[in-house]
Amino acid sequence: MGMIEYRDYADIKKILEFYISKNNNQVVADLLSFYFFDEIIHIEEENGFFKLYWKNDDVQNMDEVIDIFQAHYIYLGGQIEKIKVVNMDRREYIVIKMFRMEHRDIRRSLGLPNSHPIVSSSADFFSELRYIKNNKVYQCIINDMPFFSVVLTHKPGPNIEYTTDFLRFMNLIDIEEQVESIKSDAKNTNKYDYMKISNMGNSLRVLLERALKFYNINLNSNYITTANYKKKTLNQLEQDVKKNNTNMDKLIEQKKRWIMNDYSHDSGSRPNLNDIEMLADYIINILYAMAEDL
């Protein structure tokens, strides 16, 4: 499997536009929630906020489109963190990872008043809003979770079950890569560089939290909403994983959580470089168990 990552906004826009063009607009967007856009035809970007358009005024039978969807323009929107171009099984995919956005930030990005309604659907990992601009109705689907939740591929594409599993796999790979990067960095870190060691320990805790959230969401799509995403503690996440999978009870250790807690707060304890490799291996073992279960 070949894979190239891009983060620069200009590069991302060029790659998405080129991919759509070279496939003659025959590009489908499958979402982690089993939702899909059967034809992406246009890309816009402003300050990192991307709009991937499905339908616009240029399509035929516009009156029919408006009757069915109650909108002139329909697009998938959000702040893109990065994309990965993946070549696998003689097919090219582009997977898209977006940041989670607070509703106030969504409204600000679209120039809408703070009172403008946004409807969240935790089961779909996306929120939806409609607004009128220049006498046209826009329907915007906004990503709610900070994961790889969109995959683009050319038609005819694989079924939605395949691409959903592919996105799950890509998310676990992404977290593992970040954990491995921290582990590798630790090998070249001075044992007296306490601030750097503390930051690495805190980063590992954040990555474990994200992995546990992702795992729990895939077992129960209503587990986390965009409103309470930040409120789940590591202890809560671990306990909920154990409820969903008794095999995790053997892997998740309270002692490891205590160590990570020290790195996430001003504990006053001496940071230990050996902790970083130990915690990284601990998280990777959990990721492997998740991959077997999802």
For 10, the token pair is 């200009």
Mean pLDDT of the chain: 88
Q: How confident is the model at residue 68 (pLDDT cuts 50, 70, 90)?
A: low
pLDDT, average across residues 204-213: 95
Which of the two residues, 252 and 33, has the higher pLDDT score?
Answer: 252
Q: What is the pLDDT of residues 106-119, one digit of tens each?
A: 899 998 998 888 87
Highest mean pLDDT among 98-102, 155-159, 194-198, 263-267: 194-198
Which of the two residues, 220 and 116, has the higher pLDDT score?
Answer: 116
pLDDT, average across residues 233-244: 86
pLDDT at position 254 over 60: yes
Which of the two residues, 13 and 225, has the higher pLDDT score?
Answer: 13
Q: How confident is the model at residue 63 (pLDDT cuts 50, 70, 90)?
A: low
Rounded CA separation 219/232 (Å)? 16
pLDDT at position 67 over 70: no
Q: How confident is the model at residue 102 (pLDDT cuts 50, 70, 90)?
A: confident
Give the pLDDT score at 271: 95
Strand partners, 118: none
Q: How confident is the model at residue 250 (pLDDT cuts 50, 70, 90)?
A: confident
Q: What is the pLDDT of residues 157-201, one digit of tens each?
A: 888 889 989 999 999 999 999 999 999 999 999 999 999 999 999
pLDDT, average across residues 270-286: 96
Instruction: Evaluate whether 33 touches 221 at the Cβ level (below 8 Å).
Output: yes
Give the pLDDT score at 209: 95
Q: What is the pLDDT of residues 18-44, one digit of tens each?
A: 999 999 889 999 988 767 778 898 899
pLDDT at position 206 over 90: yes
Q: How confident is the model at residue 62 (pLDDT cuts 50, 70, 90)?
A: low
Instruction: Evaluate whether 280 touches 182 at the Cβ level (below 8 Å).
Output: yes
pLDDT at position 253 over 70: yes
Q: What is the pLDDT of residues 1-24, one digit of tens each?
A: 789 999 999 999 999 999 999 998
pLDDT at position 232 over 80: yes
- Nearest CA to 153 out of 99, 217, 83, 100 is that of 83
pLDDT at position 57 over 70: no
How many residues would you count in the chain?
A: 294
